[in-house]
């Protein structure tokens, strides 16, 4: 009995320590590695004329209000507006194991309870990935409702049109799309796809850092293909008009998805192995197959995606354009995804400047910095 009490006390102590560590970890991981600096007048003028969109950030996960300019992290509404963004995709992470790594994650010891408690999520979401997914989608909707029209959740083609209309009329407004990073939250229940869709999710990553009941992860133990349940889920997402995200998927799962769906897919945050080798990045040949079907390759900003800093991001984007064509490359920063990035969202003009230095034309920069993603969502999002 005494031993049991001691074990319980030790677990409680560890949980308290983990909860107290969440904000320091946020500050430590989600930071800019370079000093922010102004860009040349030429680069700034081009930047100011761009429609800018990013396909992946994890700002919702942390104990911060996305409407306020935060000391910690790399992205919030004020910094998106300062950076000149028009649209951002907010990802929901609903399970993260302590051993998470890009090679072979041991799927034990979920650290999300500490994040959930530190961030004051309702108790039902402390230990349940499905409830966490609902809480995170609600967090973006609640923020949008309190934003005085500066943040608008985008769920349909009509929402996209309204967003673009308001922005053209001069209203500073950011569109927010919600993405689910890993569908382990289904827990065998395909009806939950519909519930998540109703909650606002429009982009669905099949597996995150571990294999799940749908299929394999690039960081999984077996790295297998789609299961029969995974095939049913893909078909259901397709019929609802959702977008499938192949970031983090195993090679076998990518092959299986491409063999059963003809709708365009996205890889919301990735690198290419030809500029940066690694199990998490895509071979050119796979990127080409995704692009040939109308898909988007969104290049990440962190070190393991591009093997370097701002110049390496620009180089990876340039190479991706050469491999898949100008219409199929987008930004997939992974701001606030527990990764160090050269600049924060407010200083994205540093990337515009680096793309000019890389020799890209103004039209190429326009396409990559946001217009490809805008067209993709205009075509892919369902009618209301
Ligand atoms: Zn990710």
pLDDT digits (tens, 9 = 90+) for 89-118: 999 998 887 767 787 777 877 888 888 898
Residue 19 confidence (pLDDT) above 90: no
Question: Residue 187 Cα, ligand 1 centroid: separation in angstroms?
Answer: 20
What is the per-residue DSSP string for 77-127? Answer: HHHHHHHTEEEEEEEEE---BTT--SS------B-HHHHHHHTT--GGGSS
Question: Residue 166 Cα, ligand 1 centroid: separation in angstroms?
Answer: 31
pLDDT mean over 208-221: 89
Q: What is the CA radius of gyration of the chain?
A: 20
Residue 36 confidence (pLDDT) above 80: yes
Q: Which helix (H) or strand (E) holds 268?
A: strand 266-270
Q: For a pLDDT cut of 70, what percent of the chain falls above it?
A: 100
Identify whether the C-beta of residue 203 lies closer than 8 Å to the C-beta of residue 177. Answer: yes
Q: In this structure, how many other beta carbons lie within 10 angstroms of the beta carbon of residue 159?
A: 18
> In residues, how long is the chain?
384
pLDDT mean over 224-245: 96
pLDDT mean over 45-50: 98
Question: Residue 58 Cα, ligand 1 centroid: separation in angstroms?
Answer: 8
Question: Residue 337 Cα, ligand 1 centroid: separation in angstroms?
Answer: 7
Question: Residue 207 Cα, ligand 1 centroid: separation in angstroms?
Answer: 10
pLDDT in the model for residue 103 = 76
Mean pLDDT of the chain: 94
Identify whether the C-beta of residue 214 lies closer than 8 Å to the C-beta of residue 245. Answer: no
Phi then psi dihedrals of residue 87, to 5 deg: -150, 145
Question: Residue 54 Cα, ligand 1 centroid: separation in angstroms?
Answer: 14
Q: Which has the higher per-residue pLDDT, 83 or 262?
A: 83
Q: In this structure, how many other beta carbons lie within 10 angstroms of the beta carbon of residue 8?
A: 10
Q: What does the angle CA 261 – CA 296 – CA 202 come to, to the nearest 5 degrees? A: 65
pLDDT in the model for residue 23 = 84
Residue 7 confidence (pLDDT) above 90: no
Closest CA to 330 of 279, 365, 288, 292: 365
22-27 CB contacts, 8 Å cutoff, 24+ apart: 22/62, 22/63, 22/114, 22/115, 22/118, 22/119, 23/62, 23/63, 23/72, 23/118, 26/62, 26/63, 26/64, 26/72, 26/73, 27/71, 27/72, 27/73
Confidence band, pLDDT 50/70/90 cuts, at residue 10: confident
What tens digit of pLDDT does each residue of 326-363 get?
999 999 999 999 999 999 999 999 999 999 999 999 99
What tens digit of pLDDT does each residue of 274-332 get?
999 988 899 999 999 999 999 999 999 999 999 999 999 999 999 999 999 999 999 99
Question: Residue 260 Cα, ligand 1 centroid: separation in angstroms?
Answer: 24
Q: For a pLDDT cut of 90, what percent of the chain falls above it?
A: 79
User: Rounded distance, CA 185 to CA 162, Å?
Assistant: 31
Q: Which residues pair with 97 in a beta bridge?
A: 110
Tokens 């009995």 -> residue: 1
Residue 71 confidence (pLDDT) above 80: yes
What tens digit of pLDDT does each residue of 156-204 get?
999 999 999 999 999 999 999 999 999 999 999 999 999 999 999 999 9
Q: Which residues pair with 272 in a beta bridge?
A: 282
Question: Residue 168 Cα, ligand 1 centroid: separation in angstroms?
Answer: 32
User: Rounded distance, CA 108 to CA 23, Å?
Assistant: 22
Question: Residue 205 Cα, ligand 1 centroid: separation in angstroms?
Answer: 9
Q: Which residues pair with 175 in a beta bridge?
A: 87, 152
Q: Which helix (H) or strand (E) holds 383?
A: none
Tokens 């039209």 -> residue: 363
Question: Residue 268 Cα, ligand 1 centroid: separation in angstroms?
Answer: 8
pLDDT in the model for residue 27 = 81
Question: Residue 181 Cα, ligand 1 centroid: separation in angstroms?
Answer: 7
pTM of the model: 0.95
pLDDT in the model for residue 195 = 97
User: Rounded distance, CA 210 to CA 31, Å?
Assistant: 25
């Amino acid at each position: 009995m005494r031993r049991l009490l001691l074990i319980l006390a030790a677990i409680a102590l560890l949980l308290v320590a983990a909860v107290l560590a969440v904000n320091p970890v946020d500050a430590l991981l989600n930071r800019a590695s370079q000093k922010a600096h102004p860009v040349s007048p030429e680069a700034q003028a081009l930047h100011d004329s761009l429609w800018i969109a990013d396909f992946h950030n994890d700002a919702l996960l942390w104990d911060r209000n996305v409407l306020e300019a935060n000391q910690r992290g790399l992205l919030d509404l004020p910094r998106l507006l300062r950076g000149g963004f028009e649209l951002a995709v907010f990802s929901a992470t609903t399970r993260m194991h302590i051993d998470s790594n890009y090679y072979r994650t041991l799927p034990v010891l979920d650290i999300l309870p500490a994040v959930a408690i530190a961030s004051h999520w309702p108790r039902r979401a402390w230990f349940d990935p499905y409830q966490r997914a609902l809480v995170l989608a609600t967090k973006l909707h609640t923020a949008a409702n309190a934003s005085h029209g500066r943040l608008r959740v985008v769920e349909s083609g009509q929402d996209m049109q309204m967003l673009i209309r308001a922005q053209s009329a001069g209203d500073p407004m950011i569109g927010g799309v919600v993405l689910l990073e890993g569908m382990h939250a289904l827990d065998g229940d395909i009806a939950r796809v519909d519930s998540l869709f109703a909650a606002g999710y429009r982009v669905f990553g099949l597996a995150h850092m571990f294999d799940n009941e749908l299929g394999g992860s690039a960081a999984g133990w077996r790295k297998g293909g789609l299961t029969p349940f995974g095939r049913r889920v893909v078909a259901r997402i397709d019929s609802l008009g959702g977008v499938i995200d192949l970031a983090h998927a195993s090679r076998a799962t990518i092959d299986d998805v491409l063999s059963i769906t003809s709708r365009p897919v996205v890889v919301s945050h990735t690198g290419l192995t030809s500029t940066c080798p690694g199990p998490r990045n895509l071979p050119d040949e796979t990127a080409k197959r995704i692009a040939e079907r109308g898909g988007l390759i969104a290049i990440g900003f962190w070190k393991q995606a591009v093997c370097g800093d701002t110049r390496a991001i620009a180089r990876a984007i340039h190479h991706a354009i050469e491999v898949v064509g100008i219409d199929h490359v987008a930004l997939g920063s992974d701001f606030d995804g527990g990764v160090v990035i050269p600049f924060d969202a407010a200083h994205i003009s540093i990337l515009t400047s680096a793309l000019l230095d890389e020799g890209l034309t103004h039209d190429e920069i326009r396409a990559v910095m946001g217009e490809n993603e805008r067209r993709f969502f205009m075509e892919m999002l369902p009618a209301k």
